[in-house]
């Protein structure tokens, strides 16, 4: 069999991808250098778990090498001040804000009705006669409501005799007014943050497809961290497989920030982050937070020697602790 088909009994060579350092020494040691190039890296964690801080540090390292990156912000949660404080060159970062109205267009609707001011309108001609000198409606219509108007003028409190002695006032019961309930119309839709995020997710996925097909971006960050897991989990698995194939072809590092694992086997590297206790140092001011990272899946690693020793070799730790400092405490 080996003579007829040489490749039948030959194992396939394992692909070792190029990595880019994240800028955090402890994480680079665990990941054997950094995040892989040409693959999808999924960072899973809750709020304040450090996924955004790790992504900012990675993008800062890429922009320092004079490369272009893209940040697809689904929930409009990225702070440019924090990105600049992390060392990112904002001139080399494309920030895509999903579900945000442009500045030139108002939030309501572009189809506004035009109303001419009254000062530019000619006043109507004065009509004479009982009912307009023959130009008005029929006299019968002019007397409608006259009896009600006269009876309103002849109320008891109006025609009652007045004297110096205080009179007892009759309190008139007022009609109860129902509270007004706001009903949003079609012309004035709700804010994208209050409605369901289907449109923003669809826009983010389309933008990611366009950027991967266009090429030229060394790193693309798809921030879905602020979207609930029940919405993100409905994205088809074929989408992540297509992103992984396109990233391998264009040699782009795709970072996926989520709260729940959704890329499955399409991701080349899966990291789980957890938030730790805060540390203040010697002062009472908050300096930063303790973080913990765990490698759940890593496909592209170096192959060890083919010789299997009798004793078990020491295993490399798959987790590490790191600290993310605040902006006023300085760069990490």
**pLDDT higher at 64 or 156:** 64
pLDDT at 306 over 90: no
What digits encode the pLDDT tens for the residues 178-213? 655 545 555 444 444 445 688 899 999 999 999 999
Q: 112-130: per-residue pLDDT in tens?
A: 566 666 665 666 666 555 5
Residue with the two structure tokens 């012309």:
187
Q: Are 80 and 56 in contact (CB under 8 A)?
A: no
- With 80 as the cut, is the pLDDT of residue 309 above it? no
pLDDT score at 314: 54
The model's confidence at residue 259, banded by pLDDT at 50, 70 and 90, is: very high
* Pair type for strands 288-298 and 253-258: unpaired
Q: What is the mean pLDDT of residues 212-223?
A: 95
* Mean pLDDT of all residues in 270-281: 83
- What predicted TM-score, i.e. pTM, was given to this entire model? 0.65
CA distance 294 to 3: 45
Q: Phi and psi at residue 327, in whole multiples of 5°?
A: -65, -40
pLDDT in tens, 82-103: 899 899 999 999 999 987 766 5
Bridge partners, residue 279, by sequence: 288
* Range with the poorest average pLDDT among 18-22, 275-279, 297-301, 325-329: 325-329
Mean pLDDT score of the chain = 77
136-140, 190-194, 256-260, 315-319, range with the lowest pLDDT: 190-194
Name the range with the highest mean pLDDT among 129-138, 171-180, 257-266: 257-266
Query: Is the separation of the CB atoms in 77 and 223 below 8 Å?
Result: yes
* Structural element, H or E, at residue 212: helix 198-214
């Amino acid at each position: 069999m080996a003579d007829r088909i040489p490749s039948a009994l030959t194992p396939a060579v394992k692909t070792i991808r190029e990595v880019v350092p994240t800028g955090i020494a402890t994480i680079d040691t665990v990941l054997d250098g950094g995040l892989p190039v040409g693959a999808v890296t999924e960072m899973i964690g809750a709020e304040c778990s450090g996924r955004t801080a790790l992504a900012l540090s990675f993008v800062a390292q890429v922009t320092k090498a004079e490369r272009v990156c893209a940040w697809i912000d689904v929930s409009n949660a990225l702070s440019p001040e924090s990105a600049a404080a992390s060392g990112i060159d904002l001139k080399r970062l494309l920030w895509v804000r999903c579900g945000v109205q442009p500045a030139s267009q108002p939030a309501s609707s572009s189809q506004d009705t035009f109303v001419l001011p009254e000062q530019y309108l000619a006043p109507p001609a004065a009509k004479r006669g009982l009912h307009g000198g023959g130009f008005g409606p029929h006299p019968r219509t002019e007397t409608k409501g006259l009896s009600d108007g006269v009876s309103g003028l002849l109320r008891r409190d109006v025609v009652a005799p007045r004297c110096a002695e205080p009179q007892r006032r009759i309190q008139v019961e007022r009609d109860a007014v129902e509270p007004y309930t706001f009903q949003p119309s079609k012309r004035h839709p709700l804010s994208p943050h209050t409605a369901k995020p289907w449109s923003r997710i669809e826009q983010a996925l389309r933008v990611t497809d366009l950027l991967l097909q266009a090429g030229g971006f060394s790193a693309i960050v798809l921030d879905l961290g602020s979207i609930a897991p029940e919405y993100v989990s409905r994205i088809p698995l074929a989408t992540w497989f297509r992103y992984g194939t396109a990233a391998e072809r264009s040699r782009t590092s795709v970072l996926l920030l989520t709260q729940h694992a959704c890329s499955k086997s399409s991701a080349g590297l899966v990291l789980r982050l957890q938030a730790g206790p805060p540390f203040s140092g010697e002062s009472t001011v908050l300096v930063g937070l303790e973080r913990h990272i765990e490698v759940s899946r890593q496909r592209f690693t170096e192959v060890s020697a083919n010789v299997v020793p009798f004793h078990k070799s020491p295993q490399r730790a798959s987790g590490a602790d790191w600290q993310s400092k605040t902006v006023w405490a300085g760069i990490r």
